[in-house]
Amino acid sequence: MDKIEVKTQKFIIKFFPEIMVKGTKAKRQMIDQLLGNLKKLLGKIDESASFKKFFDKIEVVCSIEYVTEIRLKLQETPGIEVVQEAIQIDNMNSLDDIKVVVNEYMYKEITGKTFVVRAKRTGTQDFKSTHIEQTVGGYMLAKNPETKGVKLKDAEVTINVELVHSQLNIITHKFRGLSGFPLGTQGDILSLMSGGFDSTIASYLMMKRGIKTHFVFFNLGGTAHEIGVKQVAYYLWNKFGSSHKVSFITVPFEDVVTEIFKSTSESYMGVTLKRLMLMAAERLADERKIDALVTGESVAQVSSQTLRNLALIDKVTNKLVLRPLATMNKPEIMEMAAKIGTRRFAEAMPEYCGVISKNPVTHGSYDRMEKEAKKFDYSVLDKAVENAIETEVDEVVNQIEDIGQVKVVNDLSGGDYTVIDIRQGDACIECDCETLKIPFYNLKNEFKKLPQDKQYLFYCDKGILSQLHAQYLIDSENYTNIKVYRPLK
């Protein structure tokens, strides 16, 4: 028989195994949710894509031209364990037809290799699956003398075929899916998002588990930092969760940090900041009827993440706080970030929480924490929550524009500059020009008091804080006399 020209591609989606062991009602709901998610996601790629639901799989047929895009999207969709690509041939009613067709499409795969044929059958044919395997295998062996022969165990090539009534599916490729539950089946969560390695991986793991993940960002560093976090949040959503709309909430936290420095003892600043973030996140979650929060904290990774300090932090909220990275080490987290594509974002993202920790306590006292908490002016936190701005994640891409980079000066001999050391603490850079000491958390109020006919260079240890705060003042106040000083080493 003539080889049939294939103009469409068939995908067979196998479900995450934990779905299959659920009760009948729960399993049906999850499969229906996955089907709905796939129709929404794949319909954006190929409007002509068709879908069929079965008790143990979903089949998708798309145009050949969209195969690569659809394959990738299927591999990134929660709820899918295995993605199989198949050639679909209809009206296969005899073993003779089947053996010829399979050989036509698969003979190149077995050249110089051992092979075996595995078949599954559904319907009322007058032959069994073993008959398909024997007939197809024998025919291919006879027709392809260059093969190394049939090997029933540990063959180099396995040819998988499925016969569903008179429809033959020849499995050409098999890929691992994301696993997990279909997005939308496990409720909503609010992720405390800094944009670094930990918070992005924590968010990813929630999405992978089928949890609709919203983002809250506590802005400590101005416009540039916010845009960076929005970029990675959008990336995560677009890659793993775009079947559902979720929110990105920005909370202005600069004044909260300033109040911490005014009211809180140095060793308790880091724990206090985390407590205030949870308090704010709880209020925002309550307003949106979200039951749980997620953070990227890992036990003992930093001083605020010892068991005692995590307990002190959690005392301020009644919300369930999930920490999926609790027992993971940093190399594992970084490896996962590289795998899912968020590493390039995280490496450029500052971790502000660590910036305000000086001589941090590692085993905080409950009594001391209560005393420290009473010194804080909570009207500042109230105002920050009131001024929170919510945007749907799919709309943030319209806000992510090229904001440019503040010009960097490496050599002070080329101009009349004043260097502002924005690091916290008393240390101030020594250089051959005028220097000022204004910690980053005071820049917002103090910079406007300076003579504006001068050229200022912001300085910090790594150049990240200075870059972000310079960008923030330029964006918000339209200053034109700010650059960053990064001396050559």
Per the annotation, the verdict on 460 as an active-site residue is yes
Q: Is 137 annotated in some ligand binding site?
A: no
**Any known ligand binding at 322?**
no
Domain 95-164 and domain 404-485, same fold? Reply is no
274 is in an annotated binding site: yes
Quote the pLDDT of residue 401. 47
Nearest alpha-carbon partner for 122 in 163, 170, 167, 161: 163
* 138 annotated among ligand-binding-site residues: no
pLDDT of 77: 97
Is 193 annotated as contributing to ligand binding?
Answer: yes
CA angle (258 as vertex; 422, 392 as ends), nearest 5:
95
Assigned token pair, 429: 């850079």
**Fold topology of 404-485:** Oxidized Rhodanese; domain 1 (3.40.250)
- As a CATH number, domain 95-164 is 3.30.2130.30
Judge residue 162's burial from the number of C-beta atoms within 10 Å of its C-beta, 0-12 exposed, 13-18 middle, 19 or more buried.
buried
Contact present, 458 and 466 (Cβ < 8 Å): yes
Extract the tokens encoding 221.
């560093």
Strands across the sheet containing 50-53: 50-53, 57-63, 8-15, 80-89, 167-179, 157-164, 114-122, 149-150
Specify the pLDDT at position 487: 86
pLDDT at 6: 58
Per-domain boundaries in the chain: 1-91+166-182, 95-164, 188-400, 404-485
pLDDT at 158: 95
CATH 3.30.2130.30 fits 1-91+166-182, yes or no: yes
Beta-strand pair 212-219/247-252:
parallel
Of 62, 431, 433, 460, the catalytic one is 460
Tell me the pLDDT of the chain (489 aa) as tens digits.
455 555 678 999 999 999 999 999 999 999 999 999 999 999 999 999 999 999 999 999 999 899 999 999 999 999 999 999 999 888 998 999 999 999 999 999 999 999 999 999 999 999 999 999 999 999 999 999 999 999 999 999 999 999 999 999 999 999 999 999 999 999 999 999 988 899 999 999 999 999 999 999 999 866 767 877 888 899 999 999 999 999 999 999 989 998 998 999 989 999 999 999 999 999 999 999 999 999 999 999 888 889 999 999 999 999 999 999 999 999 999 999 999 999 877 876 755 554 566 688 889 999 999 999 999 999 999 999 999 999 999 887 666 544 456 788 888 887 889 999 988 778 899 888 899 999 877 887 899 999 999 999 999 876 666 877 787 788 777 889 999 998 876
- Please tell me the predicted confidence (pLDDT) of residue 402: 45
CATH class of 188-400: alpha beta
- pTM, entire model: 0.80
